[in-house]
């Protein structure tokens, strides 16, 4: 036996070997990525100097109060929706429905007007204001839809019951009560849902037993640090790269356009990843902890996506749940086939993406709309021809390359309209 040192076996890097522990190679990729980004960032500092100015953004919002989202107007929209669905004993179903439709329509008009006004001071303020209004629009739609379902169930199963009841919660917390319709129709319940980190309303949200102060402080420090880091990266890395990209686009120099695109892809993707963590983990967990909101599944493992559809279903859980609950499943119940329902969801998402960009920039170029609709054939192609790691690589390539293309398109058109044409 000691004379034999060979057995039948495959090389580790062969797919037939069954070997799967590539942690060292993954660490190598991370180190190489860090070193590559450090080199690019150092090159940026040597070329442009220190461009980070933390006072600039703060002074921009403090200088003009109209730069902030119109919080007062948003709060002012709530009483009408509360009237529509809280006063079930005094307002008929038809009247409430008409008032709610008028409320949502006026909200869209008002949000657009507010965004256009704020954009004259800063486009960032317009985007924030319009985003807040859009979130509120989706919340109110879910609020009326859920209460309509409860009303229909109540009328079908308990026609004799005229009042709701309350009892102790089953989650072990004596501070919260379990309510049934229409006992949930109160101003307190309405405003809790408005500020809760979810877009889907339900009568009884899962509640955490207490506020963890250490957890809350960690999320707050993350929010403050990452926000300043995002602003610094945009000022130092993104802005100079975008400014240097205008000339190749004007001259239609294809090779330099590709070079600018690839150079912009690195900081854009890094900023997007930091923003994801800042918003979906730090910010939403901070708000949830403050409100003792128990459901903290704001995202799933989208980074392991092997298909495009898996990515869109798992990177933004609040929006995905809203689309699934109030848009996709109702279409299936009405006899629409699955593919058309998925396409309709992407179409609605494309509309809101374009709406959030075009209105604050005061121009309609449909780049965001076309980018979202391009996900439909991309999802079909990846799901049909690419599997496993190849599908995951396709997802990452679409993220890393697709976003900077849209950014450059909008910046180029904005520059042409507001600078070249005016001169």
- Catalytic residue positions? 353
Query: To which residue do tokens 């076996």 refer?
Result: 9
Are 15 and 211 spatial neighbours (Cβ–Cβ below 8 Å)?
A: no
Are 264 and 404 spatial neighbours (Cβ–Cβ below 8 Å)?
A: yes
Residue 192 vs residues 50, 103, 147, 173, 354: alpha-carbon distances, Å = 43, 19, 15, 17, 29
Are 140 and 84 spatial neighbours (Cβ–Cβ below 8 Å)?
A: no
What is the H or E stretch that residue 166 is in? strand 166-168
Joined tokens for residue 189: 């319940």
Q: Phi, psi (5° rounding) for residue 173?
A: -105, 120
Task: Let me know if 24 is exposed, middle or buried by CB neighbors in 10 A (0-12, 13-18, 19+).
Answer: exposed
Cα angle vertex 95, ends 162, 197, to 5°?
A: 75
SS3 content of the chain, % helix, strand, coil (to 5): 70, 0, 25
Look at residues 239, 143, 222 and name the one whose alpha carbon lies nearest to residue 186.
Answer: 143
* Residue 135 to residue 284: CA distance in whole angstroms: 14
Contacts of 167 (CB under 8 A, 6+ apart): 177, 178
Look at residues 226, 229, 230, 210 and name the one whose alpha carbon lies nearest to residue 218.
Answer: 226
Q: Phi, psi (5° rounding) for residue 179?
A: -120, 155
* Residue 33 to residue 56: CA distance in whole angstroms: 30
* Residue 177 to residue 170: CA distance in whole angstroms: 9
* Residue 196 to residue 207: CA distance in whole angstroms: 11
Does residue 168 sit in helix, strand or coil? Answer: strand
Which residues, in sequence order, are bridge partners of residue 166? 179
Query: To which residue do tokens 């929706």 refer?
Result: 81
Q: What is the CA radius of gyration of the chain?
A: 25
């Amino acid at each position: 036996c000691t004379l034999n040192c060979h057995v039948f076996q495959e090389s580790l890097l062969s797919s037939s070997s069954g070997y799967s522990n590539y942690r060292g190679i993954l660490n190598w990729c991370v180190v190489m990525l860090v070193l590559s980004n450090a080199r690019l960032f150092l090159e940026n500092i040597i070329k442009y100097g220190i461009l980070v100015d933390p006072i600039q953004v703060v002074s921009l919002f403090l200088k003009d109060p109209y730069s902030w989202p119109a919080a007062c107007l948003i709060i002012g929209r709530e009483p009408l929706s509360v009237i529509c669905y809280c006063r079930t004993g005094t307002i008929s179903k038809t009247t409430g429905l008409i008032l709610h439709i008028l409320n949502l329509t006026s909200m869209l008009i008002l949000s657009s007007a507010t965004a256009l006004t704020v954009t004259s001071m800063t486009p960032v303020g317009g985007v924030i204001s319009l985003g807040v209004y859009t979130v509120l629009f989706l919340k109110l739609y879910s609020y009326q839809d859920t209460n309509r379902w409860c009303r229909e169930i109540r009328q079908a199963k308990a026609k004799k019951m005229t009042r709701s009841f309350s009892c102790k919660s089953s989650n072990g917390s004596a501070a919260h009560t379990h309510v049934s319709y229409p006992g949930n129709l109160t101003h307190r319940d309405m405003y809790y849902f408005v500020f809760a980190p979810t877009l889907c309303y339900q009568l009884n949200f899962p509640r955490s037993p207490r506020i963890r102060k250490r957890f809350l402080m960690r999320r707050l420090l993350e929010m403050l640090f990452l926000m300043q880091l995002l602003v610094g990266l945009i000022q130092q890395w993104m802005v100079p790269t975008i400014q240097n990209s205008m000339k190749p686009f004007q001259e239609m120099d294809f090779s330099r356009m590709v070079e600018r695109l690839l150079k912009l892809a690195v900081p854009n993707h890094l900023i997007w990843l930091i923003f994801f963590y800042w918003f979906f983990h730090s910010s939403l967990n901070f708000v949830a902890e403050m409100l003792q909101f128990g459901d903290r599944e704001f995202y799933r493992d989208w980074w392991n996506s092997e298909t495009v559809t898996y990515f869109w279903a798992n990177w933004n859980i609040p929006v995905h749940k809203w689309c699934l609950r109030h848009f996709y499943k109702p279409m299936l119940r009405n006899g629409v086939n699955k593919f058309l329902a998925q396409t309709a969801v992407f179409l609605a998402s494309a509309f809101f993406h374009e709406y959030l960009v075009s209105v604050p920039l005061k121009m309609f170029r449909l780049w965001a709309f076309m980018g979202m609709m391009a996900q439909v054939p991309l999802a079909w192609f990846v799901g049909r021809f690419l599997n496993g790691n190849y599908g995951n690589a396709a997802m990452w390539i679409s993220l890393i390359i697709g976003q900077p293309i849209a950014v450059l398109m909008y910046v180029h058109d904005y520059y042409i309209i507001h600078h070249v044409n005016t001169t």
